[in-house]
Structure 1
Amino acid sequence: MSTAAKGSLEGGFVAKKSFGQNFLHNEKIIDKIIQTGEISENDAILEIGPGHGALTKKLVLSPAREIILCEKDDFLFEEIKKKYDLKKTKVIHQDALTLIPSLIVRKPFKVISNLPYNISSPVIISLLSVCPTTPDKMVLMLQKEVAQRLIAPVGDSNRGWLTALVEMVCEARIAIDVSRYNFTPVPKVESSVLEMKNIVMPRDFSVKQAIRVLKAGFVSKRKKIKNSLFGFFKVPQEKVTSLSDKYKIDINLRAEDLTKENWIDLIREFKDLGLI
C-alpha cells in the first residue's frame, strides 16, 4: 500500500466514487505536470479537486502569484483549507461547475488539475464556453480514452463535437501517459495529461454558437452533413449548394471529416443567416 493510501485510511477518509475521487501519488508525474504548466510569477492558477494536496503542494511552491483551489468534498475542503491557508491561495468550497460561470481572474490564467473523471468533459466545456475569464492554458489529468478522443485527427471516427471545438480554439496534445497504478484508489482506467495551450476564442462568433452547430453536425455521426448539419438547420437546398461551392466542402462528408477551417466557415455563415 502506498504512503498516500495509508494517509487516507489513517485520516479516516474514504474516496467517494460519486465524486470521481482518485488521488495521484507519484511525485515524478506531479513534477512533470508542473513542468508542463510552465508557471510564471504572473500566473493565476486554478486547481479543481485538489484532494489531499499532492499537486497543490507543488503549485504552492511554484512562482504563481495566485492559486485558487476549488474543492467540493466537505472533509477535503477542511483539510486543504488548514494546509494551505496562505497569502497567495484562495480555497473555495464549491462544485467547480457552479464556480466556473462566475470566476473572474486577472490574466494570465491557467488551469492545472487532476480532474475528477466524472466531470472532466463538462469542466472543459464550461471553461471554454461560460467562464468570464478564458484560460490561457490548461494542463488536465483525464481518462486516457477521453484525452485521445479530444485530439483525434480529422477523419478519425473517435472525433466528436468537443474534439472539433478544442481543435478550433487551441493547440492540444497528450503530454504524459499515466498508469492507473499511480492513483489511490486504483481506478479501472488508464490516464493521460492533456496540454491545451494558446487558447484563443473565435472572433466572428461565440463558443456557444459554435457548440450549437458542432452538436448538430455530430448528433448522428454516421449521417452525411447534408442530412445531419444542413438538415437540422433546415437550410434550403440552393443555399447548401452555394455554401458547398463557396468553401469547397463536400456535403457527402460526415462531421468527423470536416477540418477546423470548414467548421469556422460554416459557423460564420450560419450566424450570418440567422440560424444560430
Structure 2
Amino acid sequence: MPVRLKKRFGQHLLVSSGILSKIAELANPEEGDIFVEIGPGTGLLTKELLKYPIKKLFLIELDAEMVDYLQKNLKDERIVIIQDNAVSFNYNNLNERKLKIIGNLPYNVASLIVENVIYYYSLIPTALFLVQKEVAEKWLSGKSWLSLFIQTFYDLEYLMTIPPRFFKPPPKVNSALLRFNLLQKAKIEDLKNYKKFLTRLYEGKRKMLRKKFSKDLFVSAGINEFLRAENLTLKEVLKLYHLWEAHHQETPSEP
C-alpha cells in the first residue's frame, strides 16, 4: 500500500476497478456538476469521477498522511483537497449552491457523517454512500431515530452489496451502496430540535409512547399511546413532532 492504513480512522479502501467504475457511473456525473467526496483515501474513486466532465471535486480527508499522498499524486485543476472532519464539516463554507456527495464512509463514524449531511440537505440533492450493510438496512428500516431523520428528507435506494474481498484490508462484513435522493422540502425549520424529538421518541425501544411524552400529545394526534416508536409511520412521527413543537410538550415523570 502507498500509505499506512490506520485502524482508528476505520479505513477500508475499495480497490476493485470494476466496482469503482460502476459506483462513479451510478453517481450520474454530468457536465458542470460539483462533487464532494468524503474520505477519498488514495484517490481510486476520485480518479474514476475525474473521467467525467464535472466542474469541481472537493475532497474531504481527515488523515494528514492521506492528504499528503493526494496532493502529490492527483494533478487535476478541478480538485480541491480539504483536510477536515466530515463528522462536523460545514458545507456552507464551500460557497456552492448545489453539491453531489459521494463517499466510502468509515464504518465507525458513518452514521455521524450522514447525520451531519442531513443538516445541509438544501444544498445536497443527491448523495451516494458506501457503508456497512447492516447499517444500510437499519437506515432503510425506519425503526430508529436516524433512519427517520434521513427519510424525512431523502428517499433511500439500495443499489448493491459489495463483499469484503474487494477491499483492502477486507472488513469482516459486507458493505452496501445507498443512494440518497432529496424529497420535496419537509416543513421543518429547526433540524436540531427535530433530532432532539426523534432521539427522545426512540430511546428505550421497549417503552411505550406514553412513557416518553404526555398523553395529551397522542390524544391530539389520534395515535395509540400504548404503541412503541417502531410501530409509527413517518407521517405519524411528523404529525407528533409538529404538535409537540407547537405545544412544547414535556416528558411525564416515570411512575
What TM-score, normalized to structure 1?
Answer: 0.84
Partner of 2:159, secondary structure, is strand
Q: Tell me the residue number matched to 1:149.
A: 138
> What is the CA distance between 1:132 and its match in structure 2?
8.2
Structure 1 200/78 Cα, relative in aligned 2: closer, same or farther at 3 Å?
A: farther
> Residue 44 of structure 1 contacts residue 66 of structure 1 at CA under 8 Å; is this kept in 2?
yes
Q: What letter corresponds to residue 172 of structure 1 in structure 2?
A: L
- Corresponding residue number in structure 2 for 1:220: 204
Instruction: Name the SS for the 1:39 alignment partner.
Output: coil
| Structure-1 separation of matches of 2:57 and 2:69 | 16
Decide whether the 8 Å contact of 2:89 with 2:116 is kept in 1: no
Gap change, CA 1:204 and 1:85, over 3 Å in 2: same
> CA–CA distance in 2 between the matches of 1:19 and 1:31?
24
Q: Does structure 1 retain, via aligned residues, the 8 Å contact 2:61–2:67?
A: yes
> What is the CA distance between 1:133 and its match in structure 2?
5.6
Q: How far off its partner does 1:239 sit?
A: 4.5
Task: Say if 2:217 and 2:244, in contact at 8 Å, map to a contact too.
Answer: no
1:176 to 2:152 alignment? no
Q: Any unmatched runs of 5+ in structure 2?
A: 251-255
In the alignment, is residue 15 of structure 1 matched against residue 9 of structure 2?
Answer: no
Q: Work out whether residues 104 and 133 of structure 1, in 8 Å CA contact, stay in contact via their aligned partners in 2.
A: no
Deviation string for 1:240-260 (max 9, x for gaps)?
42332xxxx222211111111
State whether residues 101 and 132 of structure 1, in contact with CA within 8 Å, keep that contact through their aligned partners in structure 2.
no
Task: Quote the residue 1:136 is aligned against.
Answer: 125
Distance apart, 1:109 and its partner CA = 1.0
**Change beyond 3 A, Cα 1:250–1:182:** same
Once residues 135 and 30 of structure 1 are traced to their aligned partners in structure 2, the CA distance between those partners, rounded to angstroms, is 22
The answer to whether the 8 Å contact 2:88/2:113 transfers is no
SS state at 1:108 partner: coil
Which secondary structure does the structure 2 equivalent of 1:262 belong to? helix
Q: 1:3 aligns to what?
A: none
In angstroms, what is the RMSD of aligned CA positions?
A: 1.9
- Does the C-alpha gap of structure 1 residues 56 and 238 become closer, same or farther in structure 2, counting only changes over 3 Å? closer
Identity of aligned residues (%): 26
SS of equivalent to 1:270: helix
Tell me how far 1:94 sits from its aligned partner.
1.7
Does 2:99 align with 1:115?
Answer: no
**Structure-2 residue corresponding to 1:259:** 233
Contact 1:127/1:134, CA 8 A, preserved across alignment: no
CA distance in 2, matches of 1:68, 1:199: 24
Quote the Cα distance in structure 2 between the aligned partners of 1:238 and 1:141: 42
Report the alpha carbon displacement of residue 168 of structure 1 after superposing the two structures with TM: 1.3
Contact 2:217 2:249 in 1 (8 A): no
SS in 2 for 1:113: strand
Counterpart amino acid of residue 174 in structure 1: Y
Q: How many residues align?
A: 250
Give the whole-Å Cα distance in 2 for the aligned partners of 1:275 and 1:160: 21
What is the Cα deviation at residue 100 of structure 1? Answer: 3.0
Question: Which residue number corresponds to residue 271 of structure 1?
Answer: 245
* Secondary structure of the structure 2 residue equivalent to 1:138: strand
Task: Output the CA distance in 2 between the equivalents of 1:243 and 1:98.
Answer: 35
Which structure 1 residue ranges, 5 or more long, are not aligned?
1-7, 154-158
Instruction: Indicate the residue corresponding to 1:250 in structure 2.
Output: 224
The SS at the match of 2:206 is coil
User: What letter corresponds to residue 267 of structure 1 in structure 2?
Assistant: Y
The offset of 1:39, in angstroms, is 1.5
Confirm or deny: 8 A CA contact 2:59 2:79 kept in the other structure.
Answer: yes
The alpha-carbon distance between structure 1 residues 132 and 175, as it changes in their structure 2 partners (threshold 3 A), is closer
Q: What is the match of residue 55 of structure 1?
A: 45
Residue 125 of structure 1, CA deviation = 0.3
